[in-house]
Amino acid sequence: MTDKTVAADEERKHAGFLKNNLREYGMLLSLGAIMVFFQLMTDGTLLRPLNLTNLVLQNSYIVIMALGMLLVIVTGNIDLSVGSVAGFVGAVAAVLMVSYRVNFIPATIICLALGGLIGAAQGYWVAYFKIPSFIVTLAGMLVFKGLALAILQGQSVGPFAPTFQKLSSGFIPELLPDAGAHPTSLLIGAALATALVLMNLKTRTRQLSHGIEAEPQGFFILKNALLFAAIVYFAYLIASYRGLPNVLVIMMALIGVYAFITSRTTVGRQIYAVGGNAKAAKLSGIKTERLTFLTFVNMGVLAALAGLVFAARLNTATPKAGLGFELDVIAACFIGGASAYGGVGRVGGAVIGAMIMGVMNNGMSILGIGIDYQQVIKGLVLLGAVCLDVYNKKR
């Protein structure tokens, strides 16, 4: 082969790779573009350390629920009740901790278990009685919204004990001598970035050594350099305010766990199979009903956690807590590339989807765009993202 044909070959390979992975890079690029756009429009307010920290705190519960929702959507179902469940669990937490003075640790455990139980109650009808999840969770949405109102008796209950508030408004303790820059947080960020790059490198070497076609080297280097820079820069910004928020640590850990489960484990693969073709999955020995049931239990637990985070952040449980969360959560999954027909969707995508929604909410608020047009714009972005997906698939 001459050099020329090799070069042409390489080029074709690159083009093919880009085409196949357009969706993933496209998502990241749009998030980047949206951030740059608002950064410029808001004269740099978006990425100010204070605002960035707030952005994380404001969206943490959406991201947490999006992880569970992704699994539910991948099995071909939907959960409309998550907002109400989060609100209800927040209310229960308030009643337990404020009215009955239960310590926050047992109270948290009770609340998470309650979330699991709620998920089980709904998942049971969906998985074993084959009632469409849309209907079951629509019913759940009404039931738990009502129950939240009932146990709060229409009042706001609060404030919480300071230890519980730390869940949302606390930051990780500073271990090093602090010069106002929170070096621990910066170091954790740098360590995380290094670990991710090393992991990617390890995977790549392993793939190459087994003759698997990995992404072209140029892409790989560029991607990892950008990833490293972005994480370190982000950590630097966060560190220069008050350091890493506790909730961000919880969120990152959950993202890591769910990304691993969905992409690397047999259970994850089976969940995708259920959504891809439930009958074929069943005939392949996969316990489709049990998996569907478990995705709802998991969703319930995560909705409960989100409810706790939200209540701790507001420092009070209100009857209106959780209102409309389900819409943001579901939108995050679909913007992130999940298919409404099931079987398709990634944890990374859902997280980026949630971040796109969060940045847009935040940026538009800073710009002083009213809540009315914010909704219009968010709706159009959702439609646009899904249209783009469908168009890409048809090509």
Contact 88, 331 (CB under 8 A): no
In whole angstroms, the minimum distance from the beta carbon of 337 to other proteins comes to: 13
Question: Which residue from 14, 23, 204, 282 is in contact with other proteins, where contact means CB under 8 A?
Answer: 282
C-alpha angle 355-361-365 in degrees, rounded to nearest 5: 145
- Amino acid letter, 234: F
Query: What track of x and - describes contact with other proteins for positions 77 through 116 (by CB under 8 A)?
Result: ----------------------------------------
Question: Which residue from 39, 228, 287, 365 is in contact with other proteins, where contact means CB under 8 A?
Answer: 287
- Tell me how many residues contact other proteins (CB under 8 A): 26
Site for other proteins in 13-32 (CB under 8 A): none
DSSP state of 337: T
Q: Is 291 one of the binding residues for other proteins (CB under 8 A)?
A: no
In three-state secondary structure terms, 157 is: strand
What is the rounded distance in angstroms from the CA atom of residue 283 to the CA atom of residue 79?
26
How does DSSP assign 228-260, residue by residue? HHHHHHHHHHHHTTT--BHHHHHHHHHHHHHHH
Q: Which is nearer to other proteins, 289 or 328 (CB)?
A: 289
In whole angstroms, the minimum distance from the beta carbon of 342 to other proteins comes to: 10
In whole angstroms, the minimum distance from the beta carbon of 60 to other proteins comes to: 28
In three-state secondary structure terms, 317 is: strand
Q: Is 202 one of the binding residues for other proteins (CB under 8 A)?
A: no
Q: Is 216 one of the binding residues for other proteins (CB under 8 A)?
A: no
Question: Hey, what are 270's tokens?
Answer: 């089976």
Q: Where are the alpha helices (DSSP H) in 42-132?
A: 49-74, 82-94, 104-128
Contact 353, 331 (CB under 8 A): yes
In whole angstroms, the minimum distance from the beta carbon of 265 to other proteins comes to: 5
Q: Tell me which stretch binds other proteins (CB under 8 A): 182-190, 280-288, 302-310, 384-392.
A: 280-288
In whole angstroms, the minimum distance from the beta carbon of 206 to other proteins comes to: 7
Q: Which is nearer to other proteins, 23 or 48 (CB)?
A: 23
Q: Is 199 one of the binding residues for other proteins (CB under 8 A)?
A: no
Q: Is 272 one of the binding residues for other proteins (CB under 8 A)?
A: yes
Contact 377, 360 (CB under 8 A): yes
Query: What track of x and - describes contact with other proteins for positions 340 through 359 (by CB under 8 A)?
Result: ---xx---------------
Q: Is 210 one of the binding residues for other proteins (CB under 8 A)?
A: yes
Question: Hey, what are 225's tokens?
Answer: 């350099």
In whole angstroms, the minimum distance from the beta carbon of 394 to other proteins comes to: 13
In whole angstroms, the minimum distance from the beta carbon of 361 to other proteins comes to: 32
What is the rounded distance in angstroms from the CA atom of residue 89 to the CA atom of residue 98?
14
Question: Hey, what are 35's tokens?
Answer: 């951030």
Q: Is the dihedral of CA 325, 326, 331, 336 positive or negative?
A: positive
- In the complex, the residues that contact other proteins under the rule CB under 8 A are 206-207, 210, 212-213, 264-267, 269-270, 272-273, 276-277, 279-287, 343-344
